[in-house]
Amino acid sequence: QVQLVESGGGLVQAGDSLRLSCAASGRTFSTYRMGWFRQAPGKEREFVAAISRNGVNTLYAESVKGRFTASRENAKNTVYLQMNSLKLEDTAVYYCAASSSIGATFPGAYDYWGQGTQVTVSS
């Protein structure tokens, strides 16, 4: 199986930037599509971004498009989420996930999940 560990979360001010990392264990990282999701208290888990196996193709939720950028370094078994111009509404626990299937925006399409990292944006 694939084990995913997110890091890089923290407390920042609105307008600041933050980069999240997701480190994966295992030998087959490059065979997985990777996604980022977030969940705020009392809300459903929300799609944020997805990236293809080779890192060329990306997909973003409309709420973050133009502000967030997903990337990956397969040689390091790591996927990143660069978050710029952070807003109060971005406050959530952020999760990375790995999928071997089609359906990048749906949680059910992902096979493995990290434990999450908290991002808190203050005014």
pLDDT tens per residue, range 20-47: 999 999 778 888 999 999 999 999 999 9
pLDDT in tens, 65-118: 999 999 999 999 999 999 999 999 999 999 999 998 777 789 999 999 999 999
d(CA 51, CA 49): 7
What per-residue confidence (pLDDT) applies to 26?
Answer: 77
User: Mean per-residue pLDDT for 13-24?
Assistant: 97
Residues forming beta bridges with residue 12, ordered by sequence position = 121
The sign of the torsion formed by the CA atoms of 78, 95, 85, 54 equals: positive
Q: What is the pLDDT of residue 101?
A: 79
Q: Are 34 and 72 in contact (CB under 8 A)?
A: yes
Q: Considering only CA atoms, which of 108, 90, 77 is closest in space to residue 4?
A: 77
